Amino acid sequence: MALDQLLRLAQTLNLSPALLQSMRILQMNTQELSDYLNDLAMENPAMEYDEGPGSGPSWEEFSSRVPWLADRPSAGWEGEPPADVGTVADRSDSLEVLLRDQLTRLHLEPPLLALCQYLADSLDPKGRLEQSDLDGLARAGVPEALLTQAVETLQALDPPGIAARSLEECLVLQLRRMPGDHQLAIRLCGHLEALAQGTVKLKALADRLGADPEQLRQAVEVIRTLNPNPVGDMTPEEPIRYLRPDAWVAEVDGQLQVFVNQWDLPRFAVSRDYLAMAKTGREDEAADYLREKIQQAQWVLQCVRRRQATLEACLTALVKAQENFFLGRWEAPGPLLRRELAEQLEVHPSTVTRTLGHKYIQCRQGLFPTAYFFSRKTGGDQSEQALKARIARMVREEDPAHPLSDQTITQRLAEEGISLARRTVAKYRLALGIPSSQQRRSR
């Protein structure tokens, strides 16, 4: 096999770090950009807070022109302020607090108290102990008697059923706390699979346990009142993340206008003192560092201004394309593709995607992600959002005694000239959180 050497000329586009930084800033939402600028100002001495008046109107001037706009989320609150917008709400682990409080009041010996607190922190989301965790503590040298005592101490706490090692033990712990004799119900907890099969297996189960069928039925009813998840609402929930609108759309003087969020962004400027120092013409390491930081600050602030202008241009085109929705003429946006918006702006579709991705618009109808306003044509000239709104309205107006099935909704849409498959109607209904017609009839 012959080896040859070829000389070939080719042009390639390499993204510089500065260009990558510009693209990154373009994609940031208001909260991300605010955090990024504050972090950058901590390490760049050339960036300083601009205390002067901004170029645009103040929040008070803007909000006074929009009657439906509530008080600004991050300022102007009376009394106790809410959590900062854009931050994650801090939730205390109520189960952990409850268990630790009960353990503290038992006045346990230090080794037992430490082990109980460790096991309490090891509970799964349902408040149960994993046998593998107990086996690991035994292998680590924890005495078996101390481990057993710690488990029994936890299981004696509230809520009943806590620290169980299985569903069966969880139910048994609750039954032992209930007044009365529930020995038959406790025995039944060892046959949960048979109970799950319904009345078919109850007669055979009564014969196996030597119990009276009526007593067995009463024991089953007692078991049904138990809670397989005693933790319930004390399970830590997902943190609530508050959103800042990246722009507002409001009708002012009869015209729809876009107001890009500039009030929740910190305003920075390049320090005049450091600019004067950089012009002295010194050539040393400190001067090189200062010029580098000044150049970085100037570039970042330029990228921020470019982001604001690009975002305003894209949102203005979006509002114009979905004018009927923002003016309240349509209950849902019409079909629109990002490619169509890019053609109107004479930019690449990726620019529209980067600019509008992960951002939110607040208008008179509510707060919406920008992705809500983009949808392909479905069922004729309708958008997916419009079809979902139509299905939701049909369900609201239906006769509760005779709810509409997916097939009936499909037929009614066809009568209106909207061709949609029944499975698509079912998919949209599930996306809206609407139960089936049979479930709606039973309510």
Residue 123: the pLDDT is 86
- Worst-scoring range by mean pLDDT, 8-17, 70-79, 375-384? 70-79
Mean pLDDT of the chain: 82
Residue 75: the pLDDT is 35
pTM, two decimals, is 0.59
* Coil vs helix vs strand at 248: strand
Residue 121: the pLDDT is 85
The highest-confidence range among 57-61, 74-78, 233-237, by mean pLDDT, is 57-61
Q: Given pLDDT bands bounded at 50, 70 and 90, which one contains residue 91?
A: very low
Residue ranges of E strands in 211-321: 247-252, 255-260, 268-270
Query: What are the residue ranges of helices labelled H in 1-53?
Result: 17-27, 30-43
Comparing C-alpha atoms, which of 236, 228, 260 is closest to residue 247? 260
Residue 260: the pLDDT is 92
For tokens 């470019």, name the residue.
306
Question: In whole angstroms, what is the distance from residue 336 CA to residue 374 CA?
Answer: 5
Average pLDDT over residues 213-238: 74
The highest-confidence range among 27-31, 278-282, 412-416, 432-436, by mean pLDDT, is 27-31
Q: Given pLDDT bands bounded at 50, 70 and 90, which one contains residue 235?
A: low
Residue 227 has which token pair?
A: 């809670």
Question: In whole angstroms, what is the distance from residue 247 CA to residue 301 CA?
Answer: 19
